[in-house]
């Protein structure tokens, strides 16, 4: 699949795949200086990239396992969604879950974007829903083991 992009900043780094079989393309912090993220703080990290995602697909922004596990930095919204009609800059909202200041270095890989298809639903109001074994059982209702 081809995804067109533009550099909104001449220093922006093109998204890359770490290996031949990587599902997510790494997104890079715009190389315009380091960013300090304090414990419990959320920052918007600019990438300097805008994309044109094909209709029927979305760009889903996930944490990079290395900085999430080792440094406590992960997307504040857990998974970001880039709709196919969005043409603005991709920005990553990073939250510091750790108890220490974390520094995002200029040009560092900060998140990964997976291009995935989605199904658009038509929501139809009805009088009742079909019954299931779980029914209205909520969080933890199916047990822990």
Task: Report phi then psi at 138, rounded to 5.
Answer: -95, -145
Structural domain includes residue 52: yes
Q: Is pLDDT above 90 for 138?
A: no
The pTM for the full model equals 0.88
Domain span holding position 10: 4-117
Q: What is the CATH number of the domain that holds 60?
A: 2.70.40.10
Q: Would you place residue 40 in the very low, low, confident or very high pLDDT band (cuts 50, 70, 90)?
A: very high
How do residues 84-107 score in pLDDT, each as one tens digit? 999 999 999 999 999 999 999 999
Structural domain includes residue 46: yes
CA angle 46, 19, 63 (to 5 degrees): 40
**Sheet with 42-46, edge to edge strand ranges:** 42-46, 91-96, 73-75
Structural domain includes residue 123: no
Structural domain includes residue 43: yes
Structural domain includes residue 134: no
Q: Would you place residue 142 in the very low, low, confident or very high pLDDT band (cuts 50, 70, 90)?
A: confident
Q: First vs last Cα of the chain: how many Å apart?
A: 41
Q: Is 47 left (phi over 0), alpha (psi -120 to 50) or beta?
A: alpha
How do residues 59-89 score in pLDDT, each as one tens digit? 999 999 999 999 999 999 999 999 999 999 9
Closest of 98, 101, 90 to residue 46, by C-alpha:
90
CB atoms within 10 A of CB 72: 17
Q: What is the pLDDT averaged over residues 35-51? A: 97
């Amino acid at each position: 699949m081809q995804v067109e992009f533009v550099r909104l900043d001449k220093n922006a780094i093109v998204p890359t795949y770490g290996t031949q079989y990587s599902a997510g393309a790494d997104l890079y912090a715009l190389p315009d200086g380091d960013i300090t993220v304090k414990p419990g703080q959320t920052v918007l990290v600019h990438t300097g990239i805008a994309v044109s995602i094909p209709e029927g697909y979305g760009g889903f922004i996930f944490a990079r396992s290395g900085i999430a596990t080792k440094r406590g930095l992960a997307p504040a919204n857990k998974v970001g969604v880039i709709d196919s009609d969005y043409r603005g800059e991709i920005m990553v909202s990073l939250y510091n879950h750790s108890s220490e200041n974390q520094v995002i270095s200029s040009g560092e890989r900060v998140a990964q974007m997976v291009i995935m298809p989605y199904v658009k639903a038509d929501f139809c109001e009805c009088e009742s829903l079909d019954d299931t074994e779980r029914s209205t059982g909520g969080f933890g209702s199916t047990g822990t083991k």
